A and B are shown apart, each in its own frame.
Chain A
Amino acid sequence: KAGVTQTPRYLIKTRGQQVTLSCSPISGHRSVSWYQQTPGQGLQFLFEYFSETQRNKGNFPGRFSGRQFSNSRSEMNVSTLELGDSALYLCASSLGTRGTDTQYFGPGTRLTVL
């Protein structure tokens, strides 16, 4: 079974721009969660989508948004980029039937904001 895939792997943007990241879950998984990883804050939960609905949300500003499609693929969008948004963005997929279902991570998208 193919693992979680994320595209693109690397992105360079400038302040004020917006960016869209994509995540394709493991076949059969219906939940996709997004995390931000930075050296200062570590791994922080952004949001989780299940069956095209946001089911849980972390403490991030409204500039961070996401969506999920009927095939369970998910995208996250960051608008009006700030320097502090530079991070590794990881998505994880799980079956999603329980909040404790094991999450499997993709390789991440490295976003650099200049």
Chain B
Amino acid sequence: GEDVEQSLFLSVREGDSSVINCTYTDSSSTYLYWYKQEPGAGLQLLTYIFSNMDMKQDQRLTVLLNKKDKHLSLRIADTQTGDSAIYFCAESSDNQGGKLIFGQGTELSVKP
């Protein structure tokens, strides 16, 4: 069945780059997403990548997709304390009809 895995915690220093990793199992995945959740809030869409792409860059965010290994990563350049949050990767495919499969979330802690 479908499964998405993430490491649970990541701690970095302010100004460093953060890399959050995700693996998925569904080979029919069409879109892969990164969402950010701050305490007490809903999910904020950060970026997404279509499965026929290898990389997508959006300001400080870079998404890399390795389809062969079913591995997705999110790199945040120049990480700030305001980036501290939980980051979720999620997958969807046309045959799942509006259903996102989420990873467990990675808690990013940014130390000044």
Interaction A to B = yes
A interface with B by C-beta (< 8 Å): 4, 6, 31, 33, 35, 42-43, 45, 48, 50, 55-56, 58, 90, 92, 94, 96, 98-108
Number of B residues, CB within 8 Å of A: 26
A42-B104, A100-B31, A100-B92 given; A105·B98 CB < 8 A: no
Could you list 5 examples of A-B contacts with CB < 8 Å?
A43-B100, A99-B96, A99-B99, A104-B45, A108-B42
> Which of A4, A31, A42, A90 interacts with B98 by CB under 8 Å?
A31
Main secondary structure of the interface of A (DSSP, over half): strand
Q: Decide: B98 and A56 in contact? CB cutoff 8 A.
A: yes
Which chain A residue lies CB-closest to B48?
A: A102
A90-B43, A99-B93, A99-B94 given; A105·B99 CB < 8 A: no
